[in-house]
Amino acid sequence: MEDVKNVLLMDNQIMDFDLAFREMEDKPVLLKIYGKIEELPSSMPASILTSLHKAAKAGKEKLDDDATILLLMDMIGEERYEEWCKKGLTMKQAENVIKWLFDQYGVRGNQIKK
């Protein structure tokens, strides 16, 4: 850890998060659906965690269908979501993809359940 700390500090005063984030990048999350291997970012966008936090603060223990759709669109992108829907994606399948992605990103299932 000491080596990383020294590398990331510029002039021993400024933390270089640009460098730190580049060094922390992992391999992308890969999944196969509808015969195509899809590549997703190596970490979950912060906006998704913010949405989950807001839902939890509002007292929601479960996501409704609309929230599930929006969450999946945020995770995979609207264009990809529309493509999967055209190929027959069901709500149950969407829920399973979200749960699997949460596992990949290290998000605990007890934060908000479907």
| Residue 97, both tokens | 């993809």
Helix boundaries (H) for 9-111 = 17-24, 46-57, 65-76, 78-86, 91-105
Q: What is the pLDDT along the chain (114 residues), one digit of tens a residue?
A: 444 444 555 566 788 888 777 766 678 899 999 999 999 988 888 888 777 777 777 777 677 888 889 889 999 999 999 999 999 999 999 999 999 999 888 876 554 444
pTM: 0.69
Q: By three-state DSSP, how is residue 24 classified?
A: helix
